[in-house]
Structure 1
Amino acid sequence: MKVSYKWLQELVDLPESPEELSREFIRTGTEVESIDTLGEAFDNIVTAQVVSKQPHPDSDHMWVTMVDVGSYNLDESGNPAPLQIVCGAQNFNEGDHIVTALIGAELPGGIKIKKSKLRGVESRGMNCSLRELGLGGDHSGILVLPEDAPVGVPFSRYWGTADTVLDCEITPNRPDCLSMVGIAREVGAIYDRDYHVDYPQIKSEVGRPVADELSLEIADSGLCSRYVARIVRNVKVGPSPDWMVQRLGALGIRPHNNIVDITNYVMMLTGQPLHAFDLSTFAERDGKRRVVVRAAREGEVFQTLDGQERTLAAGMGLITDGERPVALAGVMGGMDSEIEDDTVDVLVESACFDAGRTSHTSRDLALISDASIRFERQVDETGCVDIANVTCALIEELAGGEVAPGYVDLYPSPKEIPALKLRLERVRMLCGAPIEPSFIEGSLSRLGCTVTADGDDFTVVPPSFRPDLVREVDLIEEVLRLWGMDRVEATIPAAKNHIGGLTHDQRLHRRIGSILRSCGLNETTTYSFAAPGDLEKCDMSEEGRGVPVVLMRPLVAEQSEMRRSLLPGLLESVSYNEAHGTANVHLYETGTLFCGRENASLPKERPSVAGVLSGAWGDVTWIQRQRPLRFFDGKGVVEELLEQLRVERVRFRPADGELYRFLQPGRGAEVLSGGTVLGWVGEIHPQVRERFDINLPVVAFELNLEALMRLARDQEAYREFSTYPSVDMDLAIVVNEDVSCEDLDRRLRSAGGKLLVGVRLFDVYRDDERVGKGKKSMAFALTYRADDHTLTSDEVEKVHQRLVTKVCKATGGEVRA
């Protein structure tokens, strides 16, 4: 919700600084995402004067003008020089003072001014109309300023359009704050001040009564709880007044015409969405026009105001004239009933549509509007008549309309609001603060509640526009947030015979995070929700991941499932960081995966830990060159983690086959502890990186956190070190290319027995002539030592020869001379 500071000042007394108001909003639970100065939208737009006006040599309706913009354009000597601008308007003369957008300016609506040629003549700017400036609906000609207007000054300074706009994030439980009146009420409660709104009143009602001309029907009671309709005849559709356009523009709404702008203005003022129909588009039967609210039929097609034809699902709400749809209920109007320049009679709709049905309609059609945002958070149905009257009064005032007598109101089940009991003792106990009764009564009254004191307790009737106030604790929350949670003194909770502490799993979980951070990784948290094609985008197999858990009501369409791997979210983080100039990304995450099961009510939840490494470990320095992170960097992190957790019998097996299509062939491995597969580590395949718009290589790993914690050891068994000397020997074995180092290492340790205490690969050599084609020589440093005596050369030689024989026989290798 964008809030105009200038408009808000007319409703309630504000502090001088918007920043102070922002701090108070944040303190009381309304997040402020940004504070913007509206005048900044007129950057590079200045006042100017027409020096000359000549017909375009190749057009009968364009003019070539020379425009004085003061010091904003200088010649080679540094003196002000006029700009040449081609203009199509006809309503100006030489000497007129106008408004000019210079090259580099960006007009409302995203129009960027560039140097261009119009039919062969160079143009270096634009002479602007009110509509192009976003200040009015008139675009019949450029804006001509008074004769005494200065030349070459910023337009925002001259026009006085500077306004501060607070972009507030309104939580779903506060639909009342999706309006200027609601924000003014909130400010009044924060600062203990009155707010005031002067609603226009209908001056007269003439002509045929609405009830004689219009009939209403709600065919599906679940779609609409109340529908109010009024008629205004003989309207004159045209541009809106400047003050209305400026207010709507500050809130991010472009002007259309005075009728549509009035409905938008009243919606932003009161929070009640409205719609204006061209009454003549409704079919007349038996002397009456009908409005029927019904559910759409499966496959029914409807063209909305944005010009798109949309295929509807059964149950979506429609407004019809009895047969033909004219609007999507609570979302958007239709092309066939919109207000046109020749519209004469207007039907004003003020209704309250079901929140759930509206939300489903707008999100299923990917059609989010200002109206649907408000309806899906619940609109106050008790104010439909009053707000319809305000709308008609403005149409009467600004469009010369004649308001028809009366209105039609279909309200099947009037809303009843029960009174709530609020206990002072309960307030103080839950808040932990000595809040005074006078503050409680004053705060709730400012928020619109009807408060009656009964000794130390209160009887409170919440206002109809606060559907979130249904329990005593809801009232207490309102009192506390206004009183200030920062004023509550910190105390230790009272408890007897309770000893605090972390469980074994909690300590181990924190230890895993500490180890990964010590390896240079930073912890991150991604969404537990995922897009339906996340695994497919990563080329990850669904084997062993269960069926997807689909959300019934996803917050966004792109996150409609629960995640089955941490990798897609981490790759999105790498992509985001790289796109914003951060090349060196080292992240890890611990989280839960959700694996659905056929015919099971609940999915299986599996904890997992994953990490990604991209770029390099550090920036280039005078002593350190850039070295991209590769497979062995990720493998080293995994090895360090497993070693610190004292996981035994760790080994790595090449990751081949369809299960690991997302890893580069030859640069991925499964991580095992004995026969248990813990996870995988490897370099992400370039095709997968391309889908995520990642340019640099990425090393990733993902481990089963449950298995990891089960195999981890808190302590390692003490083993007395040997005081006897060791014997070092080197062994080079020539084997086929398909024999892995991991296989050789495992066979060497097995054949060496207890005396072999160390195996280290120090060289790999390939040469078709000396070693053989398709073969490689792998050289190992072997360390022999006994715990209880000094080894003799005969003992070592005997063990070594036995080792060589076994390993060569098992691998088909031979000792390299």
Structure 2
Amino acid sequence: MLISLNWLKQYIDLDGIEISELENALTMIGQEVEKIDVKGENLEKVVTAKIVEKEMHPDSDHLTICKVDNGKEILQIVCGAPNHKAGDKVALAQIGARLAEDFVIKKGKIRGVESSGMLCSEEELGLGSDSSGIMILPEDAPVGMPLKEYLGVNDVVFELEITPNRPDCLSHIGIARELGAYYNKEVNYPSTEINGETSEKTEDNIKVEIENSDLSKRYVARIIKNVTVKESPAWLKERVESIGIRSINNIVDASNFVMMEMNQPNHTFDFDKIAGSKISVRSARENEKLITLDEEERDLATDDIVISDAEKVVALGGVMGGKNSQITENTKNVLLEVAHFNPINIRRTSRRLALISDSSYRFERRVDRSNAINVINRLANLIQEVAGGEILAGAVDVYPEPYNRRVATLSFEKLHRFVGKVIPKEEVIRILTKLEVEVKDNGDSLTLTAPTYRDDLENEQDYFEEVIRMYGFDNIENILPRLDINPKAITDTTRLYDKVKVIASQAGLKEVINYSFVPRDAMDKIKFTKVPRKNLIDLPRPITEDFATLRPTLIYSLLKNAKDNMNKNVSNIRFFEASRTFEKGEELASEETKLAFILAGENDKTLWNAKPVPYDFYDLKGIVQEIFTKLGFKNYQIKRSAATELHPGRSADVFVGRELIGSFGEIHPDVLENFDLNKKAVLVAEFSIDLIKKYIGRKTVYEPLVKFPAVPRDFAFVVKEDVLVGDILKAIEKVDKKIEKVELFDVYRGVGVLPGMKSVAISVILRDKNKTLEEKEIVEISNKIVNKVKKDFDGILRQ
């Protein structure tokens, strides 16, 4: 935000305050100064001059050779501008001048002709945005006077970094208010009383309707007739150009001036181009288009707020006007608009169209709709001053939702404890009153009503900040507070959470940390139905639609991570996240800590000559069991999954009794298609850490290392396709106490195995803790395993 010191002085007396002191004051009250531009610094050795002669360059069809009088001598200057003639008064940068873009003028030759200086445009001198030709001065301009002295250029422009919570400071009056409170000075507001109205009424000439108050909570219109559109007077042109806005004409410049003065975007229409004497604020309809003031044709979306007359769209509300209703030199009657528009819609539109204007920037950060009448009256007065015309009586004010001012209570005891010193009560009241807060003194506390333009003042702590920054941080002594340090005990939940992350890392998974927010349609995209839509927590005013809902599952975020990495040619994805999920409770939100992980792509083999193999269900299951084992989580059952986000035949649920702990398996094909991953192997698992904690055994029993050797045996059983491998493994584990470990290591379908059947290869580790197993014992246990699988699953030992 650019703030002109000369402009600022219209509203507050800053005489006697040095630029460096003002810079420090602005920074101390939270308006950080990014840059200071002292106007005229680059005008040394630039003087007023007169073109005595002009002739064409012998070696160019666009360059001219000018004889220029600088008041002391006649210089030869080669010029490339098209807009000059003999007798013109001009700005001459002499040898040694350093212009706005750090360009030093030197004597030289241009296409063989010597040039001893440069005739400059407004842009080259840093005095405006016009670069179409050199700067032509009035006929009565003296010759040889320093240009800085002639123009009276003595302004200082501050570039401020305004934080998003302080949109009221995106204006000269907003900054004047801040400095008024800091320096205890009065702020002089411009008059908002209409200078004079005709008997003809605005309401008899225009009707206004707001179709949906969610789009606009106020729309005010006024009309001025019989204006004269022309170049702005020098003072107005200088004001807008001092902060980098190109001067267009007196009407448009007045509109921009008021926006930068009062932080209220506004718009001016050629009233004679408004069909049907009607203005509607509505959503754009499908296939509507608008050519905006920048002469670009825009395809409108239903999220866009538009201003329409009885026939057509005439403006993109809060972003940019339409070319079909713009002010031109032929305009005679002007319709003024001051309105409020929904910040979310404005942000969507400006981002979608890559069209960020001064208006959209302010509407995105919310403007003070309560001040609309004052703003439109100020604009009407200013237009009448610079363009003439008659202001019609009254305004049309459609105001469906008046603003309710926020009320809070400030405790002096809490303030003093927060600050670390006692700030006199009178000083606190003075500061808040200067900030235009309505103050009611209750003795040991204050009841505070925030001004309508301070939407950020919500609670007591916000007012503490206001008092401190205006009192001065440098007035508060650096005294370390005395605090009793009571180390917080580490809870079992925290220990488990940390342990889960360590174990997941040991399993070869890489941790990711995602935002807790997802798009509103995220659960539909992943077919997640464990939490009903009505129980999802939507944010009322999300920063962006990507952050609209608190996530009830970690799966969506992990799928996004996988998609992003695959787009960058990462072929082996092994991510995990341990974080909280959210859903609505009976009164407050319900939070649950979960662990989720994802495998995608191909499993890199460690041997140099081994080929990568796509991840499958058993890779995932192995990691699940490894994590559960290291956590000491036992006595769970694995069953076929009913999770809608997972593949119905390649997924499983984990239960303890009837309580669902979590699910794992391949992602459903429809979900993969939604993420454009339909040709990839993607598997996920998600479990409740809170529920796992509930069932983990608390006691750890020491077991000495077994001295006797283990005996490995492998079996391959042919079973029906619908037989669950997990059931086979559990059945084998119960065959004999000497069975130490049972693992699946292969599933085969193909030559040698009948259709509808599968070959399941299982590794079994046998061990006796007290002695070495004999061969007959090994054979006996092996036979029992074969018979158990035969009996329970009709499985045949594959030969």
For the criterion TM > 0.5, the same-fold answer is yes
Name 1:814's counterpart in structure 2. Answer: 797
1:703, CA displacement in angstroms? 1.9
Give yes or no for the alignment of 1:531 onto 2:520. Answer: yes
- Cα deviation, residue 645, structure 1: 2.4
Contact 1:591/1:607, CA 8 A, preserved across alignment = yes
Residues in 1 aligned to 2:390 and 2:619: alpha-carbon distance in whole angstroms: 78
Identify unmatched segments of 5+ residues in structure 2: 39-55, 65-79, 93-119, 138-152
SS across alignment from 2:422: coil
Per-residue deviation, 1:732: 3.9
5 Å-filtered alignment, 1:751-770, equals: 751=735, 753-759=736-742, 768=751
Deviations 1:684-714 (A, max 9, x none): 6898667547899765322234433333333
Q: Deviations over 1:738-787 (max 9, x none)?
A: 57764553343222x11222345678899958x99987583635322045
Say which of 333, 340, 360 aligns to 1:345: 333
Look up the match of 1:260: 252
Which residue, out of 540, 546, 557, partners 1:569?
A: 557
What is aligned with 1:725? 708
Check 1:436–1:768 CA distance in 2 against 1; reply closer, same or farther (3 A cut): same
Contact 2:511 / 2:575 at 8 angstroms: preserved in 1? yes
User: Does structure 1 residue 428 correspond to structure 2 residue 426?
Assistant: no
Could you tell me which runs of 5 or more consecutive residues in structure 1 were left unpaired when the two chains were aligned. 40-49, 56-62, 67-86, 99-127, 148-158, 285-289
Residue by residue, what CA displacement relative to the aligned partner does 1:220-272 show, whole Å, maximum 9, x if unpaired? Answer: 8987778473626332256898756655657xxx8765523432332133112
Separation in 2, partners of 1:522, 1:417: 45
SS, match of residue 268 in structure 1: helix
CA separation of 1:8 and 1:246: change in aligned 2, threshold 3 A: same
Equivalent residue runs for 1:399-438 within 5 Å:
400-404=386-390, 408=394, 424-429=412-417, 431-437=419-425
What is the alpha-carbon distance in structure 2 between the residues aligned to residue 452 and residue 602 of structure 1?
A: 34
Aligned to 1:170: 164
CA deviation digits over 1:608-628, x for unaligned, max 9? Answer: 33234568999x999999979
Q: In the alignment, which residue of structure 1 is the partner of 2:146?
A: none
What does 1:43-122 correspond to in 2, within 5 Å?
none
Which residue type is aligned with residue 642 of structure 1? Answer: F
SS of the aligned residue for 1:714 comes to coil
Instruction: Provide closer, same or farther for how the CA distance between residues 652 and 464 of structure 1 changes in structure 2, counting only shifts above 3 A.
Output: closer
Q: 1:179: Cα distance to partner?
A: 2.7
Once the two structures are TM-superposed, the CA of residue 479 in structure 1 deviates from its matched residue by 1.6
Percent identity at matched positions?
A: 23
Q: Say if 1:378 and 1:590 are closer, same or farther in 2 by CA, change over 3 A.
A: closer
Q: Does 1:182 align with 2:165?
A: no
Q: Distance in 1 between matches of 2:23 and 2:626?
A: 49
Which segment drifts farther, 265-274 or 689-698? 689-698
Structural mapping, 1:359-374, within 5 Å: none
State whether residues 135 and 245 of structure 1, in contact with CA within 8 Å, keep that contact through their aligned partners in structure 2: no
* Contact kept in structure 2, 1:8 and 1:184, CA below 8 Å: no
Deviation at 1:346, TM superposition (A): 2.3
| Native 8 Å contact 2:222 2:392 kept in 1 | no
Tell me the amino acid that sits aligned with residue 594 of structure 2. S
In structure 2, the partner of 1:72 is none
Residue 143 of structure 1 aligns with which residue? 133
One of 648, 651, 656 as aligned partner of 2:634 = 648
Alignment-derived partner of residue 597 in structure 2:
611
Q: 1:142, 1:746 → 2: CA distance? A: 85
* Change beyond 3 A, Cα 1:715–1:410: same
Q: 1:210 aligned to 186, 190, 198, which one?
A: 198
- Are residues 1:270 and 2:252 paired? no
Other-structure match for 1:700: 684
CA contact (8 A) 1:545 1:564 kept: yes
Verify: 1:802 aligned to 2:784, yes or no.
Answer: yes
Structure 1's 490 and 587: CA in aligned 2 closer, same or farther, altered over 3 A? farther
Match of 1:712 among 666, 672, 696: 696
**Offset of residue 438 of structure 1:** 6.2
CA distance in 1: counterparts of 2:720 and 2:58, whole angstroms: 84
Partner residue of 2:761? Answer: 778
Query: 1:235·1:395 contact (CA, 8 Å) conserved in 2?
Result: no
- The answer to whether the Cα contact below 8 Å between 1:654 and 1:669 also exists between their aligned partners in 2 is yes
Q: Please give the residue correspondences for 1:218-229 in structure 2 after superposition, counting only pairs within 5 Å.
A: 227=220, 229=222
Q: Which shows bigger deviation, 608-617 or 427-436?
A: 608-617
Q: The residue matched to 2:464 in structure 1 has which SS?
A: helix
Partner deviation per Cα, 1:198-239 (whole Å, 9 max, x = no partner): 96999x978xx3343533778889877784736263322568
Deviates more, 1:220-229 or 1:806-815: 220-229
Shift of 1:396: 5.5
Is 1:521 the counterpart of 2:510? The answer is yes
- For the 8 Å contact 1:303–1:335, the answer to whether it is kept is no
After TM superposition, list the pairs within 5 Å mapping 1:202-601 onto structure 2. Answer: 209-215=197-203, 227=220, 229=222, 231=224, 233-237=226-230, 243=238, 246=241, 249=244, 258-281=250-273, 306=292, 337-350=325-338, 353=340, 358=342, 379-380=367-368, 383-384=371-372, 387-388=375-376, 390-392=378-380, 394-395=382-383, 400-404=386-390, 408=394, 424-429=412-417, 431-437=419-425, 439-441=427-429, 443-449=431-437, 463=451, 465-466=453-454, 475-480=463-468, 482=470, 489-492=480-483, 501=489, 504-505=492-493, 507-516=495-504, 521-532=510-521, 534-537=522-525, 540-547=526-533, 549=536, 551=538, 553-555=540-542, 556-557=544-545, 560-561=548-549, 563-575=551-563, 586-594=575-583
C-alpha distance in 2 between matches for 1:19 and 1:577: 46
Distance 1:255 1:129 in 2: 15
SS of the residue corresponding to residue 733 of structure 1 reads: strand
**In structure 1, what residue type is equivalent to 2:267?**
H
Distance 1:683 1:297 in 2: 42
1:657 to 1:634, Cα distance in 2 relative to 1, 3 A: closer
Write the distance in 2 (CA, Å) between the matches of 1:563 and 1:611.
16
Cα distance in 1 for residues equivalent to 2:629 and 2:27: 49
* 1:263 partner letter: S
Tell me: CA distance 1:742–1:449, structure 2 relative to 1, closer, same or farther (3 Å). Answer: closer
The answer on whether the counterparts of 2:223 and 2:333 sit within 8 Å (CA) in structure 1 is no
CA distance in 2, matches of 1:474, 1:594: 29
Decide which of 746, 749, 754 is 2:730's aligned counterpart.
746
> Which secondary structure state, in structure 2, belongs to the residue aligned with residue 259 of structure 1?
helix
Name the amino acid aligned to 1:712. Answer: I
**C-alpha deviation, 1:180, in angstroms:** 3.9
**C-alpha separation in 2, matches of 1:626 and 1:167:** 55
Give the direction of change, closer, same or farther, for the CA distance of 1:646–1:38 in structure 2 (3 Å limit). farther
Report the residue type matching 1:236 in the other structure. V
Amino acid at match of 2:413: E
**1:159-212 C-alpha deviation (Å, 9 max, x unpaired):** 9999885554412xx4423434324544665x658697896999x978xx3343
| Contact preservation (8 Å) 2:252, 2:268 | yes
Q: How much is the aligned-residue C-alpha RMSD, in angstroms?
A: 6.4
Q: 1:633 to 1:265 in 2, by over 3 A?
A: farther
Q: What's the secondary structure of 1:210's corresponding residue?
A: strand
Q: 1:344 to 1:639 in 2, by over 3 A?
A: same
Change in Cα spacing, 1:467 to 1:527, as seen in structure 2 (3 Å) is: closer
Q: CA deviation at 1:446?
A: 4.7
